[in-house]
Amino acid sequence: MASDTPTETAPPAPRPPLPGRRPGSGPRAARAPRAPRRSAGRTGGWTPWLYLAPALAVLGGLLAYPIWQLGLISVLEYTQAQVSGGEPTTFRGLGNYAEILGDGQFRSVLLTTVVFAAACVAGTLAVGCALAVLLTRVRAVPRLMLMLAALGAWATPAVTGSTVWVFLFHPDLGPVNRVLGLGDFSWTYGRHSAFALVLLEVVWCSFPFVMVTMYAGIRAIPGEILEAAALDGASPWRTWRSVMVPQLRPILAVVTIQSVIWDFKVFTQIYVMTDGGGIAGQNLVLNVYAYQKAFASSQYSLGAAIGVVMLLILLAVTLVYLRLLRRRGEEL
């Protein structure tokens, strides 16, 4: 008796490929989409350089040629005798560098410059970042007044600002000593007090750049992130350290490098406020020391060698700082 259950039929076997043809190569086989071809004219190798050519020409004229001349003078015997034509210019090679590196005063001035620049950078970043956070917490009118005051300090020429600060802290005429009850105390007589006075002036004229830049970065942080931190009960310091700083690290890298460069090569404030480097050169920094070597002593080659050393130090510090940021995974 036949069963009522339908019998299952096996699926047909696949047809073997035709001779000389690979499987999946028939006309019905799905083909992978090809990437669109770019026009050769749009991706020409010279097009970006044509756009950059004007800027590169300006930078070459303003930076490359002076640096070349600086390096050239630093390897020559170039004093007042050579400038006036009394003696021929001779090649010294690395002799000028060996002379300044073997000079104990140069090493002392270099150490002083590093410490002073580090203190200026730390003070500038601290004041600028604190005021940038304050700008986000005050109303429109106080914010406008603070911005105008900061931009006024930023726009003041270095010579003018230094002269005003010297007057404010003058032992006889300055109002600061009267308010503090210091009598005729001279801020520029002692080595450390003179450096402290110059540091205050440098921070005063430098923090507006940090403040404005960091304020713009804080305003770019999504409000939801800051609101979430506030709802979690984070204090202002914890919000700054754990929420804002990770978002602002690329901007912090820029302002830090700029501050290091500016403060390491400070000249005007030291020269004006300490009358050329202080008593017996106690307040010398590298820029003022190079100026004295080149123009006061007419040893132009030694002054140029000091300038090259400063350039190499700044390049090394900048490259090391950027390398450390890249190792931490920061995008610059």
3-state secondary structure labels for all residues of the chain: CCCCCCCCCCCCCCCCCCCCCCCCCCCCCCCCCCCCCCCCCCCCCCHHHHHHHHHHHHHHHHHHHHHHHHHHHHCEECEHHHHCCCCCCEECCCHHHHHHHCCHHHHHHHHHHHHHHHHHHHHHHHHHHHHHHHHCCCCHHHHHHHHHHHHHHHHCCHHHHHHHHHHHCCCCCCHHHHHHCCCCCCCCCCHHHHHHHHHHHHHHHHHHHHHHHHHHHHHCCCHHHHHHHHHCCCCHHHHHHHHHHHHHHHHHHHHHHHHHHHHHCCCHHHHHHCCCCCHHHCCCCHHHHHHHHHHHCCEHHHHHHHHHHHHHHHHHHHHHHHHHHHHCCCCC
Residue 275 falls inside a structural domain: yes
Residue 129 falls inside a structural domain: yes
The predicted model gives 302-309 an average pLDDT of: 94
Residue 5 falls inside a structural domain: no
pLDDT at 110 over 70: yes
User: Which tens digit of pLDDT belongs to each residue from 192-202?
Assistant: 999 999 999 99
Residue 273 falls inside a structural domain: yes
Residue 105 falls inside a structural domain: no
pLDDT at 41: 45
Domain region containing 277: 114-285
Per the model's pLDDT, the better-predicted residue between 312 and 12 turns out to be 312
Look at the chain and report how many structural domains it folds into. Answer: 1
Q: What is the CATH number of the domain that holds 261?
A: 1.10.3720.10
- Please indicate, yes or no, whether the overall pTM of this predicted structure exceeds 0.75: yes
pLDDT at 31: 53
Residue 157 falls inside a structural domain: yes
Highest average pLDDT, of 11-15, 50-54, 196-200, comes from 196-200
The predicted model gives 18-31 an average pLDDT of: 50
Residue 71 falls inside a structural domain: no
What confidence category does residue 15 fall into, taking pLDDT thresholds of 50, 70 and 90?
Answer: low
Residue 123 falls inside a structural domain: yes
User: Which tens digit of pLDDT belongs to each residue from 234-244?
Assistant: 888 888 888 88
Provide the mean pLDDT of the chain. 85
